[in-house]
Amino acid sequence: MRVSNRKKVICLQGVSYSYPGTNNRIVLDNINLDVHAGEMLVLLGPNGSGKSTLARLMNGLLAPSCGQVLVDGLNTADDTSLWQVRKKVGMVFQNPDNQLVAATVEEELAFGMENLGFPPEEMMKRIREISARMQLDELLNFPPHRLSGGQKQRVAIASVLAIEPQALVLDEPTSMLDPAGRREVISELNRLKQSGKTVVLVTHDMTEAITADRIVVLVQGKAAFMGPPRECFSRVAWLQEIGLEIPPAAELARRIRGKGLVVPQDLYHVADWVEYLCQES
């Protein structure tokens, strides 16, 4: 996929960050990163490596201590354009229970639009569209506590999409879900990717990571790797050293090789396996 000559939605230029009151302990160290329109970027890294912090810098929830973050040309450190920034970059968080505000799904979908001052008719129209598209129309009158985890996360995604942001940043949206909920959210993510939305996904799940256009691996606040998934997962020894897994399909290939059988190097995905096995026989 050609991404280099596309429009840059989010630009991080020499960004460093340390949380206030932590004796300037550097959490992010000189990050240079462009998120291009239409790409799916996955952020990987061990616990505490700064992924969530980086995500929060992308829509001005945090302002960089050093360097600057530009969203569609707007500086996130500028208070006057902060609301424009929040409109352009939507955020979905990890815990489905702690990001739904309203008493019903319908109100939840409206919440972001209400904040940004949309007229009621427009809100109604968009709620109809988005709920039909994401199969939420039957849940519109449900209170959040009657939804499953996967449904809650889909509502969170839908309510962010309702304001039609240019990019969507998701911070481990599946890590608190059961397998069914996880599948639900992942298929939603795939649909997003296919529709050409710009997506930044923070995850620990390598099966999700393998579908990315580009992977950034953070280690102790530094961007230690930036490149396509296949290249990332070919560095098995390094990944293990920093405490990351490799995708299950790749792990299977590695173990089979360990038993002395010969299989190709580039089996990272179930689909790769299917292709390989079918052509062999």
Ligand X SMILES: Nc1ncnc2c1ncn2[C@@H]1O[C@H](COP(=O)(O)OP(=O)(O)OP(=O)(O)O)[C@@H](O)[C@H]1O
Only segment of 80-88, 203-211, 244-252, 267-275 that touches another protein (CB under 8 A): 80-88
Shortest CB 47 distance to ligand X, Å: 4
Residue 45 binds which entry of another protein, Mg ion, ligand X, none, with Cβ cut-offs from 5 to 8 Å by kind? ligand X
Residue 277 contacts another protein per CB under 8 A: no
130: left (phi over 0), alpha (psi -120 to 50) or beta: alpha
CA angle (125, 127, 131) in 5-degree steps? 125
Answer yes or no whether residue 52 interacts with Mg ion by CB under 5 A. Answer: yes
Q: Least distance (Å) from ligand X to the CB of residue 196?
A: 27
Minimum CB separation from Mg ion for residue 226, in Å?
19
Q: Which does 50 bind (CB under 5 to 8 A by kind): another protein, ligand X, Mg ion, none?
A: ligand X
Is residue 68 at the binding interface for another protein, with CB under 8 A as the rule?
no
E strands present in the chain: 8-17, 28-36, 40-44, 66-71, 74-75, 89-92, 167-171, 198-202, 214-219, 222-227
Long-range contacts of 127-133 (CB under 8 A, 24+ apart): 127/162, 130/158, 130/161, 130/162, 131/105, 131/106, 131/158
Q: In what order do the strands lie in the sheet with 222-227?
A: 89-92, 167-171, 198-202, 40-44, 214-219, 222-227
Distance CA 61, CA 71 (A): 13
Nearest to 93, CA basis, from 4, 156, 50, 10 = 156
Partner touching 31 among Mg ion, another protein, ligand X, none, CB below 5 to 8 Å by kind: none
225 is a site residue for another protein (CB under 8 A): no
CB 239 within 8 A of CB 246: yes
Contact in structure between 36 and 93 (CB atoms under 8 Å): no
Residue 49 or 81: the one with the smaller Cβ distance to Mg ion is 49
Q: Does the footprint of another protein cover residue 159 (CB under 8 A)?
A: yes
CB of 221 to another protein, least distance (A): 20
Could you tell me the smallest distance in angstroms from the CB atom of residue 105 to Mg ion? 26
145 binds another protein (CB under 8 A): yes
Q: How far is the CB of 56 from ligand X (least distance, A)?
A: 8
DSSP assignment letter at 73: T
- Residue ranges in 25-64 that form contacts with another protein under rule CB under 8 A: 56, 59, 61
Residue position matching structure tokens 């912090």: 53
- Under a CB-based contact definition with an 8 Å cutoff, are residues 257 and 263 in contact? yes
In the complex, the smallest distance separating the C-beta of residue 215 from another protein, rounded to whole angstroms, is 24
User: Quick one: what does residue 114 bind among another protein, ligand X, Mg ion, none, with the CB cut-off 5 to 8 Å set by partner type?
Assistant: another protein
Tell me the CA distances in angstroms from 241 to 164, 178, 219, 238, 247, one per residue in order.
40, 28, 11, 5, 15
Q: Which of 39, 106, 172, 188 binds another protein (CB under 8 A)?
A: 106
Instruction: Examine residue 181 and tell whether it contacts another protein (CB under 8 A).
Output: no
Range in contact with ligand X (rule: CB under 6 A) among 51-59, 64-72, 254-262, 268-276: 51-59
Residue in 78, 114, 178, 266 binding another protein, rule: CB under 8 A: 114
> Which residues contact ligand X (rule: CB under 6 A)?
19, 22, 27, 45, 47-53
